[in-house]
Structure 1
């Protein structure tokens, strides 16, 4: 029998904010040039370094200098970062706020750099509304490493089986489920809303957009 969740944990990228860097580069530089850039430069590993706690601007500008033919485009990952991290998934934000209005503890568990998260908090007010922020850059470890889930369990003070976690990546969900967490693979806010209703945390009316 599934127990009632005592805390809800949101991933951020592609759960609260769309994170599709390729879309930005397609729009600004065209799909062909973007494909060449991403084939020649491992931008996702560059971003992983930031998510693990390395300095935001330093890592990106260092990578740009290693690939002078792509210097300007790589620097845009930093200089135009907010355009990569848009738009907001408004229904998910509504769910977050309605949970908190009912007194449900709501935390985030996110792969995010220290400086980039601080910057995002100046642009998206809801990122300042979590009860506890579990940010990989601060913790120096990213999902799906088990250590970041351990940090959540210790910090939230809730038994694993009482945590309900939404993430858009199956690998991240699998590790949490293996630790006994209740999980939801996020494929859109409608499904997440339905899961929160099924868990008894919101009514159908409260979960509506």
Structure 2
């Protein structure tokens, strides 16, 4: 087995829950939320932010383009931090346990420039990575092969020595195609078990 030299975390739904539909269900009701998401490609608009477009300007333009949903669309900007919540505590503990064990820990996340700045004061662990690869700053999002190449070029490590976890199978598939070791994140317990199995943490430090 190839020795792992760095562990790479996705952020959304790995370290922080990201469930915009759940947020809107609670605010405007599930039926109205379904109608809004059917009318407007909000996730596609968010992809623009993740590629580096200005958060406020992008959401404001979408709100103006959809006057029937203006106030609801603006919630994506004004109440964004409520959609990116809560932290997944056990994943945060494994991040910190890896750092304590001397294992380099990176982030590779589809995240906007401004939204990442909003999140960091709320979630201080976002400042604790040894290297942070944030798509907004890179101008490309997963699963584009370019973003993985950029990580490899920057860190200088053999792809086979990287262990990457992400909740989206398309992002995992792209990483596997480059020779990365991968883990499909379906819960913090399974991820902790994988880190123990790899010998990066003990059962005690993975709790």
Which whole-Å deviations, capped at 9, do the CAs of 1:154-194 have from their partners, x for residues lacking one? Answer: 11121100000000000000111111100000000000001
Structure 2, unaligned stretches of length 5 or more?
none
The count of residues paired between Structure 1 and Structure 2 equals: 207
Q: How does 1:154-169 map to 2 (within 5 A)?
A: 154-169=153-168
In structure 2, what is the Cα distance between the partners aligned to 1:54 and 1:91?
32
SS of equivalent to 1:173:
helix
Contact 1:161–1:180 (8 Å) recurs in 2: yes
Match of 2:96 in 1: 97
* Residue 95 of structure 2 corresponds to residue 109 of structure 1: no
Match of 1:189 in 2: 188
Which whole-Å deviations, capped at 9, do the CAs of 1:32-78 have from their partners, x for residues lacking one? Answer: 00000000011001100000000000000000000001000000000
SS of equivalent to 1:96:
helix
In structure 2, what is the Cα distance between the partners aligned to 1:11 and 1:103?
19
Contact 1:21–1:84 (8 Å) recurs in 2: yes
Deviation at 1:4, TM superposition (A): 1.7
In structure 2, what is the Cα distance between the partners aligned to 1:86 and 1:167?
17
Q: TM-score, normalised by structure 2?
A: 0.99
* Residue 131 of structure 2 corresponds to residue 132 of structure 1: yes
Which whole-Å deviations, capped at 9, do the CAs of 1:98-154 have from their partners, x for residues lacking one? Answer: 000111100000000001011111110000000111000000000000000001111
Root mean square deviation of aligned Cα: 0.5
SS of equivalent to 1:86:
strand
Contact 1:4–1:200 (8 Å) recurs in 2: no
Structure 1, unaligned stretches of length 5 or more?
none
Match of 1:61 in 2: 60
Q: TM-score, normalised by structure 1?
A: 0.98
SS of equivalent to 1:103:
coil
Match of 1:179 in 2: 178
In structure 2, what is the Cα distance between the partners aligned to 1:151 and 1:121?
23
In structure 1, what is the Cα distance between the partners aligned to 2:107 and 2:202?
22
